[in-house]
Amino acid sequence: SGVSAVDQAAEAWLRRVQEGLSPEEEAQFAAWLEAHPAHGAAYARYRTAWDRFAPLAHAVRTGQEPALA
């Protein structure tokens, strides 16, 4: 079945947020989040995964040992 359109949008917003949003983009992001409860839930899932795996990805990129919790 693949990834839903909501999940694709959440992943795209997460990337954009990580890069930094302009004031106009911040308004668009807020509108997207408010448009449907599923949007916030999907974004939260992707954000949680990002927060969990970003340190590991950094360790791989830099050749350092990952800090394990």
Q: What is the pLDDT of residues 25-40, one digit of tens each?
A: 999 999 999 999 999 9
C-alpha span between 45 and 57 (Å, rounded): 18
Q: What is the pLDDT of residues 43-63, one digit of tens each?
A: 999 999 988 887 777 777 888
C-alpha span between 58 and 3 (Å, rounded): 25
Residues 6+ apart with CB under 8 A from 26: none
